[in-house]
Structure 1
Amino acid sequence: MGKFLNFSVAVLTAAALAGCDTVPAPRLVQAAPPPEPVSHEVPYRWTQGNAPQAYKDMVDTFGRHGLKPGEYVVASTIPQGETRIVVDLLTQMAYVYRGDKLVGASTVSSAKRGMVTPLGFWSILEKRPFYRSKKYDNAPMPFMQRIDGYGIAFHGGNNPGYPASHGCIRLPMKFAEKLYGLTKVGSKVVIEG
């Protein structure tokens, strides 16, 4: 190593004395910066923090980091209190609270491309154990819970794991039934995405 260093210094010194400016100066190689920490936070278009918190509550309550299409979890005991539903359009999940306690979570299927599931704060306006769509070929909407004046509702239906509805929030059938039993007209809903 010493011989190589002496040779390099000799070459650079000779080039400098000869007036040669074509010998490049030694480059310092800077180490690459450490990689950014991987974040498991998801970028929301509109959020009040309910959906990210609901996900954390699901992990804490049920020990689950996600659900497969059509899958849901429900607490074995349901406390008293007001029911509140948080829907996360980005991850296609719904979370149900009684008071401040998460009591259930489910996959959903919201509006497909070209259709809209509206973001924002809503309330259950109407409930019917069985209903048929007036807009879409009399399609069945079991355990229907309408949240707006245009017909957007929670109901049981196909839950493929991606947005596929005309705007409604489809739930696995058994979960739709359980949710129907937990809510009342006036129950609060927040939809984020």
Structure 2
Amino acid sequence: MAQRSTRWFSAMTAAALMMALPAPAFAAAASDALAPEVTSLAPNRFLWNDSGSSEPVSIVVSIPDQKAYVYRGTMLIGASTVSTGKDGKETPVGVFPILQKSEKHKSNLYDSAPMPFMQRLTWDGVAIHAGMNPGFPASHGCIRVPTDFAKKLFAITSRGTPVLVTDASAAEGWTLPTNADAAAMQSETATANEAWLQTASR
């Protein structure tokens, strides 16, 4: 079972995150995500420092880093280790809107396996959810995160929240996803959505 991190942002890091002036999305990812507190996270650990502002939430999942980064606007408010898809079951890359949320979800693809705090990214079964987090890709395509992190993330997202799944590391940087990016992806998958709605919920 995933355990809550006992590590938190240092006082200086927290103050910097809360007081920093707005910065370009790339700069935010290239700096905050490379902070020692983030890069040294052990498997099944996370950091969280959310001031609860009204800035929009976005999520970046870096496959090479095996980490998820949560932003309000351009400010990093959370980071966690993850476990993405193993060889042959790779997690797809791209910008995805959160399509569906379910606090107590079970898979109908894998023997009713529990998927607590499930946030669906695709209609063919890829989601962010609480699960085993060994520090390397081990899932069937989903993005597993520690349970307490999953709970906190679930509380601040909504349907449509943009999630970037990328092959880039924090050292390479990225452009934070927007609601428009996610909406475009959702439009492209409208046919798959319609097909899914005509079948049993996964």
TM normalised by structure 2 equals 0.66
* Residue in 1 that maps onto 2:151: 177
* Residue in 2 that maps onto 1:112: 86
* Residue in 1 that maps onto 2:118: 144
* Residue in 2 that maps onto 1:165: 139
> % of aligned pairs identical?
44
Which runs of 5 or more structure 2 residues have no equivalent in the other structure?
A: 1-24, 168-202
Change (3 A) 1:123 1:131: same
Runs of 4+ in 1 over 3 A off after TM superposition: 50-53
Q: What amino acid maps onto 1:191 in structure 2? A: V
Indicate yes or no: 2:56 matched with 1:82: yes
Tell me how far apart the structure 2 counterparts of residues 143 and 79 of structure 1 sit (CA, whole Å): 22
Q: In terms of mean alpha carbon deviation, does 63-72 or 120-129 score higher?
A: 63-72
Number of aligned positions between the proteins: 143
* Residue in 1 that maps onto 2:69: 95
Change (3 A) 1:74 1:55: farther
Which runs of 5 or more structure 1 residues have no equivalent in the other structure?
A: 1-49
User: 1:118 Cα deviation (Å)?
Assistant: 0.4
User: 1:52 Cα deviation (Å)?
Assistant: 8.9
Mapping of 1:62-77 within 5 angstroms? 63-75=37-49, 77=51
User: 1:59 Cα deviation (Å)?
Assistant: 3.8
User: 1:100 Cα deviation (Å)?
Assistant: 1.5
Q: Secondary structure at the match of 1:143?
A: strand
Larger helix share, 1 or 2: 2
Tell me how far apart the structure 2 counterparts of residues 54 and 173 of structure 1 sit (CA, whole Å): 24
Q: 1:58 aligns with which of 19, 30, 33?
A: 33
